[in-house]
Amino acid sequence: MKKMMLTIAAMVMAIAASAQNSAIYKVEHFVEKGLYDEALPLIETALANPKTTKFAGFYYNKGEINRKKFEEILNMAAQGMPFDTVAFCKYLDEAVVNFTKSHLADMTPDKKGRVKPEYKQKNYLTLKSMLNYYNFAGVFTNQMRDYAASIENFKKYYDMPKNPVFTAHETDSIYAAQKSNYAQTAVNIVMLNFQLKNWDGILATVDDALKDTFSTRDLYLMKMQAHLEKNDSAAYIVDLQEAIARTEHVGFAQNLLYVYLQRNQPEEAMKVATDMVAKNPGSQTGWYLKGCVELNLTKEYGAARESFKRALEIDPTFVDANVNMAYTFMNEVVSRRNAGDWKLDRTNKAEFDKEFEEIKKYYEQALPYMERVQELKPEDPKLWASALQQIYTNLQNKQKADEMDAIMSTMYK
């Protein structure tokens, strides 16, 4: 008798589960007919009932309702009609969430450890067709100046290929096929975080963005600013070193040199510069940085000339290398005079003339480099006018020195 009662109870439970699961057919009918208000209560009831087993079907149909509502708004946007951006994002989110839940339920083993997917292909194809929609959402919310929402939508677009509906191989293939789009999205996320001064947000995404070549210089500037705002000077220096290696931008080299100048760390600066040229002998910025360290920190003027020479062999139009090559000669004159190598005693004419001729040789060697700067940057006399005035004066070329004086007199008007 007891056994019979247990059997009857089991039958009742099976009938209850069957009743809940059979609702899927009504739901599918309503969804097909576009009767979403009739379908949704049935879905919610079934999902809340512990007797339900066909979760994959109910979640799939709920996703279908979300998708169809979303696509109605998408069509309005495509036609240039006014549309509800908030609803666009809401239905997109709900569609992706429900198709994903459907997939996970579909791939969950039953009590006997069996996996019998019914919606695997449908979920896969649907989510694959929706890969780019979060990108649209990111653009739309950005246009509304809702930058926080735009960041979230761009993140969802960036992460969408990692959805469990895709295999690891498919994920890699999607990223490879749309590499430039995903790279640009990573840049968008960093730039929006920069607008919001969300320094942690920048650092969470910037390395992904830097995997490509989009806006590399700007990305490093934002990364460095984030590390400065977080008072992480060690990371800031690493950023500068990486930025120099990646971009060959002279501004980064100058910033790094400034850091070491401020800290009075010539040994550390030289090690960085030496390592850079050892790793990449073809780096004009590496040789430039090494020359700047030798010129400004260690005062090794001959070595600095060799470094700037290497940089100019790579690019003869490298303005900053030409400027600093000229200063290796000019600064050495000042240094030697301060050290007492040249007394320039006018009471001893023979000795004075001898020393002056030696000094002139330095200015003669500096001249072509600074004249090259004038030729390369005629619109920027701050780079060359004062230096050329000094060179021409020491070479006793009064006419040219006066020309530089005239230019300098107009520079600050």
Digit-coded pLDDT (tens) for 352-385: 999 999 999 999 999 999 999 999 999 999 999 9
Q: What is the pLDDT of residue 413?
A: 62
> Above 80 in pLDDT, residue 323?
yes
Q: CA 316 to CA 323: how far, in whole Å?
A: 12
Q: pLDDT at residue 57 above 60?
A: yes
Q: Band of the pLDDT at 113, cuts 50, 70, 90? A: confident
pLDDT at 14 > cutoff 50: no
Q: Report CA 98 to chain centroid distance, whole Å.
A: 32
Give 263-305 pLDDT, tens digit per residue. 989 899 999 899 989 999 999 999 999 999 999 999 999 999 9
Please check the confidence at residue 13 and state whether its pLDDT lies above 60: no
More reliable by pLDDT, 13 or 167: 167
* Structure tokens given for 413: 């008007």
Q: Which residue has the higher pLDDT, 53 or 293?
A: 293
What confidence score (pLDDT) does residue 111 get? 83
How buried is 291 (Cβ within 10 angstroms: 0-12 exposed, 13-18 middle, 19+ buried)? buried
Give pLDDT tens digits for 83-104.
Answer: 899 999 999 999 999 999 999 9
pLDDT at 360: 96
